Amino acid sequence: MTDPTPTPTPGIHHVTCIAGDPQRNVDFWAGTLGLRLVKRSVNQDDPGTYHFFFADAEGTPGTSMTFFPWESLPRGAVGTGQVSRTAFRVPAGCLDYWEERFDAHGVDYGDRIERFGETVLPFRDPDGLPVELVEARIDGDDPTVPWTEFVPESAAIRGFHSVTLWLADPKPTGELLRTMGLEERDTEPTPADDPGDERTRFAAAGPVGAYVDVVRADESGRQGHGTVHHVAFQTPTDEDQAAMREAVQSAGLRPTQQIDRHWFRSVYFREFAGVLFELATNAPGYTSDEPLDELGERLVLPGPFEDRRGAIEDALPDVTVPRAETADANDR
Ligand code: ZN
């Protein structure tokens, strides 16, 4: 019997989304947003599809946004039972830079919003995925490491800020978040053009990806391009994960057994309102199979997939990762 009170999660570990064209996905997330492609691999359940991991310079837990470019799927619709918004931290005062950059790159962005005393810049990626930049205080001892190939340190994305969940009934999910160690922090009315009447913020203790906002919403959604597939929370060690798994199971959910995802070990479950949650260990990490200065340069095929490299490579479309030395003036 494990301790019934699990170690609180420090926050989000990664967010995984569904994209369309893989080249367009890499051009936007690595080129326009300036994240580092830290891992180029395949979907471990569908090795004919890429799995891209975009993160900070070192793939720090709490910074990786990952995509399955499933070209055959249709465009999705963000709705109830999904992560509706994924927000990233950026240094205070840099949103003018981002608006200019978005103008130069033709990115679809909205007006700035004030939310819980912070300034938020909403935009969409080329598949229509709703994303936000949130101005945050980033201290000298911040665990994230900026990747500055395309975006200067003064504006570089520094890991997740939060996810927003749209839920038919936020109450059981709120209880679950408490079980996972988040605390209910604050509630404020949602703007008139947003779903729901109010947004409630839950906060974890970690410096990165600490917030989960829940909104009661009744928007019909459909998984496809431009939607989030799942959100993973950090359970740094196997012991943390086992205890959290047990707590989640005791709460009435049905977590999977631990699955080896090569760069972390994972447990999955659908929470009460239908959002797919994952618990992910911090080890072994993205530098376990490639040197730090070569992350993302080659296709990495975990375990048994390496034996099928020829066939897998032949089936995947060619993708070129944008590099600063070949970028045009707009990218500088
Ligand atoms: Zn995952």
Ligand 1 center to 115 CA (angstroms): 27
Ligand 1 center to 116 CA (angstroms): 28
Residue 240 lies inside a defined structural domain of this protein: yes
Residue 7 lies inside a defined structural domain of this protein: no
Ligand 1 center to 16 CA (angstroms): 6
Ligand 1 center to 327 CA (angstroms): 31
- Kindly report, residue by residue over 16-71, the tens digit of the pLDDT: 999 999 999 999 999 999 999 999 999 988 999 999 999 999 999 999 999 999 99
Please say whether the beta carbons of 19 and 70 come within 8 A.
Answer: yes
pLDDT over 50 (residue 329): no
Please say whether the beta carbons of 52 and 300 come within 8 A.
Answer: no
Ligand 1 center to 189 CA (angstroms): 31
Residue 6 lies inside a defined structural domain of this protein: no
State residue 280's pLDDT score: 98
Percent of the chain scoring above 70 in pLDDT: 96
Q: Give the CATH number, domain containing residue 325.
A: 3.10.180.10
Helices (H), the chain: 22-26, 95-105, 170-179, 238-250, 309-315
- Kindly report, residue by residue over 82-100, the tens digit of the pLDDT: 999 999 999 999 999 999 9
C-beta neighbour count of 240 within 10 angstroms? 19
Ligand 1 center to 230 CA (angstroms): 6
Identify the domain containing residue 45 by its residue range.
12-331
State residue 3's pLDDT score: 52
Ligand 1 center to 104 CA (angstroms): 32
Residue 103 lies inside a defined structural domain of this protein: yes
Ligand 1 center to 24 CA (angstroms): 21
- Kindly report, residue by residue over 235-287, the tens digit of the pLDDT: 999 999 999 999 999 999 999 999 999 999 999 999 999 999 999 999 999 99
Ligand 1 center to 170 CA (angstroms): 23
Ligand 1 center to 328 CA (angstroms): 33
Which residues are within 8 A (CB) of 204 and not within 5 positions of it... i.e. 6 or more apart?
Answer: 8, 9, 10, 11, 180, 181, 182, 210, 211, 212
Residue 326 lies inside a defined structural domain of this protein: yes
CA dihedral 47, 50, 56, 59 (to 10 degrees): 10
| Number of compact structural domains in the chain | 1
d(CA 26, CA 28): 5
Query: What tokens appear for 193 in the block?
Result: 């053009």
